[in-house]
Structure 1
Amino acid sequence: MYRFLLTPRWLGLAVVAVVLAGFGLQLGSWQFDRRTERLSDNARIERNLAAPPVPLGSLGLEGSDLVDDGLEWRSVTLAGRYDEQGQLVVRNQSRDSGPGVSVLAPLHMPDGTSVLVERGWLSTATSSSGVPDTDPPPVGPVTVTGWLRADSAAGESATVPVDGTVRAVASAQVAESLGYPLLPGYVALTEQQPPPDGALAGPEPPDLGQGPHFFYGLQWWFFGLLAPVGYAWFAHVEAHPRTRSRAPRSAGRSPDTQVRVD
């Protein structure tokens, strides 16, 4: 009954069904793995956010990878003086669907090291607006509390400063333009003494959502299973064709005509 499955046409369909099934199941598993990684990252971020602030110098950041070392979003404290001439504007930083920029400045610390500090966010009229006028950082010593943030993985076209602006932050490129070394990453300011003037908005907390990976995984698994199920269904239909039987009709007589016997 199913000998037709050995024909080239059906063998080809079987191969296609197996490939599609494997493809869908593999992509579904990949999405579930992404979800597991996201949950693990969220747990680490929550621990870092809940931990009390520690002095920045105690973390030994020189040569560190903040993400690999699990330090991103760690709350830190630091003290020093801002380099007003090194202030940097990060373009295209939208919030709540509104355009804006982030303002950063290097902070020189007493031990001779320096680090970028994100002073805050400033709204702009449009995303294509020019660089807005920003107040310079305060003169004199300051004490800063903030979250450690990792450098962007964007390419040099986005991270090399041009006229004091970038599209993404990479401390190595900024350090090269400044002419002195910087610690990796930057600090997103949450508190400062003396307090900032309030013109700049503070940093946004991290997004701790799970993302769409779970539902994407289910969708890919569904599509993967659909291929062999569809193959089996069409094979069943091919093996059991539907037949329609019609009753014979008398010539010249309507099927609705009833024979009346007197």
Structure 2
Amino acid sequence: MYRFLLSPRWVGLAVFAAFMAVACVWLGGWQWDRYHQRQAANDVTRGNYMADPIPVERALANGWSSKLAWRTVTATGTFQPEDEITVRFAQRGSTPGVDVVTPLRLTSGEIVLVDRGWMSASRTGEAPDDIPAAPTGEVTITGWLQPDSTADAAATTPTKGQVRAIDSSRWADLLGAEPLPGHIALTSPEQDGLKAPDEPDLGSGPSGFYAVQWYFFAGLAVFGYYWFVRTEVRERRQARLTRSA
């Protein structure tokens, strides 16, 4: 009754179903792993941005680490408005705008980039004419450490007072010195006319759902093969009974 399964057609169907099931299981495992990676990253982020602030020099004493993202830090120094840069196309929701990044020379002599906040701007990405001035004199700020962008040099090298993304290593020529890695997203004190950074996204993302979806497809491939075999057997039995009647 089941010898038909050895025919080229049914062998091909079995191979296809097995391939689909294995591929879907692999993709489901990959998405499940990404889901757990997201959870682990969220745990680090949650701990960092809720922690008591520490001086930025202390946080970056050993250079940048991925575990420093969203670490709450303080910095004391003087802003350098002459080296201020805007980040183009920094859209929030559906509103176009720019981020305003002003270097802060610390009392230690080092320089750290500070994203003072966001403001709406034209869709061309050009810097507005009414950017609020940075505080003068010595200030102490608080904010969240953010990593350097991995975008290419064309996007991160300051050109005509603007960049597309922030990479502190590209600011050395402008500043005449290598700034500390990453930058600070300023949360305090509030900057009149500028909006503070959004809080981190601690959602699980779609990976968990995608994993379940891929596992479902794997089961569907196996069930589909079983269904076709069952239907074929039933039709063959019916045909045999018809011939013998």
Report the residue type matching 1:153 in the other structure: T
Aligned to 2:12: 12
Report the residue type matching 2:222 in the other structure: P
Report the residue type matching 1:28 in the other structure: G
Give the one of 225, 232, 246 matched to 2:226: 232
2:21–2:219 CA contact under 8 A, matched in 1: yes
Find the residue that maps to 2:68 and give its secondary structure: coil
- TM-superposed CA distance for 1:176, in Å, is 3.6
Find the residue that maps to 2:93 and give its secondary structure: coil
Distance in 1 between residues matched to 2:74 and 2:42, nearest whole Å? 23
Structure 1 vs Structure 2 CA RMSD: 1.8
Report whether the alignment pairs 1:84 with 2:78: no
Aligned to 2:145: 148
Q: What whole-Å deviation, never above 9, does each CA across 1:46-101 have from its counterpart, x for those lacking one?
A: 11122111111112345323x1xx11111111111111221010011122321111
Q: 1:141 to 1:216 in 2, by over 3 A?
A: same
Aligned to 2:161: 164
Percent sequence identity over aligned pairs: 43
- TM-superposed CA distance for 1:135, in Å, is 3.1
Report whether the alignment pairs 1:50 with 2:50: yes
Report whether the alignment pairs 1:130 with 2:126: yes
Report the residue type matching 1:60 in the other structure: L
Aligned to 1:211: 205
- TM-superposed CA distance for 1:129, in Å, is 4.5
Distance in 2 between residues matched to 1:233 and 1:61, nearest whole Å? 63
Structure 2 length normalisation: TM-score?
A: 0.91
Q: What whole-Å deviation, never above 9, does each CA across 1:111-152 have from its counterpart, x for those lacking one?
A: 12111000110012x422522122332332111111111111
Distance in 2 between residues matched to 1:176 and 1:220, nearest whole Å? 49
Report the residue type matching 1:77 in the other structure: T
Find the residue that maps to 1:146 and give its secondary structure: strand
Q: What whole-Å deviation, never above 9, does each CA across 1:21-43 have from its counterpart, x for those lacking one?
A: 11111111111111111111111
Distance in 2 between residues matched to 1:130 and 1:47, nearest whole Å? 36
- TM-superposed CA distance for 1:8, in Å, is 1.7
Runs of 4+ in 1 over 3 A off after TM superposition: 60-63, 242-245
- TM-superposed CA distance for 1:153, in Å, is 1.8
Structure 1 length normalisation: TM-score?
A: 0.85
Structure label with greater radius of gyration? 1
Q: 1:82 to 1:212 in 2, by over 3 A?
A: same
- TM-superposed CA distance for 1:179, in Å, is 2.7
1:17–1:227 CA contact under 8 A, matched in 2: yes
Find the residue that maps to 1:189 and give its secondary structure: strand
- TM-superposed CA distance for 1:107, in Å, is 0.8
Report the residue type matching 1:131 in the other structure: A
Q: Report matched runs for 1:96-135 at 5 Å.
A: 96-124=93-121, 126-133=122-129, 134-135=131-132
Find the residue that maps to 2:133 and give its secondary structure: coil
Report the residue type matching 1:138 in the other structure: P
Query: Higher helix share goes to which structure?
Result: 2
Q: What whole-Å deviation, never above 9, does each CA across 1:211-253 have from its counterpart, x for those lacking one?
A: 11121111111112211211111112122205597xxxxxxxx
Find the residue that maps to 1:9 and give its secondary structure: helix
Q: 1:9 to 1:221 in 2, by over 3 A?
A: same
Unaligned runs of 5+ in 1: 246-262
2:60–2:180 CA contact under 8 A, matched in 1: no
Report the residue type matching 1:50 in the other structure: M
Q: 1:154 to 1:61 in 2, by over 3 A?
A: farther
1:62–1:184 CA contact under 8 A, matched in 2: no
